[in-house]
Amino acid sequence: MSMKTIIEKASDGVLEEREVIAFSESKRMSLDEFAHEFSKSVAQHYWNGSYDYHLCDGAMNWLYGFLTDPTYLITTNNTISEFPLDVYLAFDAGEYHHAGDEKSVDPVRKYTDPAIEKLLRAQES
């Protein structure tokens, strides 16, 4: 299974934890490393325009559930890594209109896009 398939299944809400564990083991990566690679791939594909907002938002919503699941938390000493959480929060911010914003404001353009750009630039450093 490829990361692309995993992301698409996550977005559709049909990715199973056992599939992530098997994928991570096959790539010899920890679950935390998987979360980083998943998040980076989602963010990069979104920024490049190969994934749309809704696919990425769904995938990151799935990942957040995984990040808060005991299976992940046991392997990370009950901590959630900053980068995957920040990517999740960037997409989450695009889900709703924020207090004080005009109805015409697109929350994806105002909140998600700049956050994803900033996160990807930080990864390049």
> Can you say how many angstroms the Cα of residue 10 is from the centroid of all Cα atoms in its chain?
10
Tokens representing 57? 């938002």
Tokens 């809704």 locate to: 54
Q: Which amino acid is at 23?
A: F
Q: For residue 16, give its domain range.
A: 3-124
Summarised one tens digit per residue, pLDDT across range 5-53 is 999 999 999 999 999 999 999 999 999 999 999 999 999 999 999 999 9
Summarised one tens digit per residue, pLDDT across range 53-73 is 999 999 999 999 999 999 999
Angle at 33 between CA 29 and CA 35, to 5 degrees: 125
Tokens representing 27? 């790539």
